[in-house]
Amino acid sequence: MNIGTHVQGNARRQTGVVTLEYAFLLIIALIPLLLFTFTGTLIFAAKQSLTMAAAEGSRAALHYGDISQRQQSACQAARRSMLWLLNFSGQNPSCANASSAPIQVSGAYPCEAGSSVSCMRVTVSYNYDQHPFIPGTGAMYGWTIGAPLTSQAVVQLGNTSP
């Protein structure tokens, strides 16, 4: 038996083992990193959608009408803006009762103490712990998020008479 051939065969086998070890390490390290990044991107998109929904709801509250009409208009606008989140979570909020989660629209209240100008607050939320975008990531992000994602916008109504 030629010793040079035997050593060369072992080197080839070792190269194959190193390649397999590298592939397994890449899978074990890269997949969680990609999962973490993708989920973070979806959470960022959800936060942006909530901010947009609160802003659109507060703009819709500026339309003329009585307070209940303004509340309903604000709720419907916020609902349209965050529809993908509502569909994903399976929630179907009723704008007839604008004081329940995930879309809450306050009644008119004085903007400042003693002020004659009224304000209205639109608050929208999404509970990521109950409805994670990728299964299993609720626990992973639970320690950083800890509470439902929320956004809030306040609009100054001025004269609230129709």
State pTM to two decimals.
0.76
pLDDT at res. 162: 44
Q: Which residues, in sequence order, are CB contacts of 153 under 8 Å at separation 6+?
A: 54, 55, 57, 58, 121, 122
Q: Where are the beta strands (DSSP E) in 24-147?
A: 99-100, 103-105, 109-110, 118-126
| Contact predicate 158/118, CB 8 Å | yes
pLDDT level of residue 37 (50, 70, 90 thresholds): confident
Could you tell me which residue, 101 or 16, shows the higher pLDDT?
A: 101
Q: What percent of the chain has pLDDT over 90?
A: 35
Nearest to 148 by CA among 116, 119, 125, 123: 125
Q: Please give the mean pLDDT across all residues of the chain.
A: 82
pLDDT of residue 26: 83
- Mean pLDDT, range 9-31, rounded to an integer: 75
Say whether 119 sits in a helix, a strand or coil.
strand
| Band of residue 161 on the pLDDT scale cut at 50, 70, 90 | very low
Summarize the confidence of residues 22-27 as an average pLDDT. 84
The average pLDDT across 58-62 equals: 93
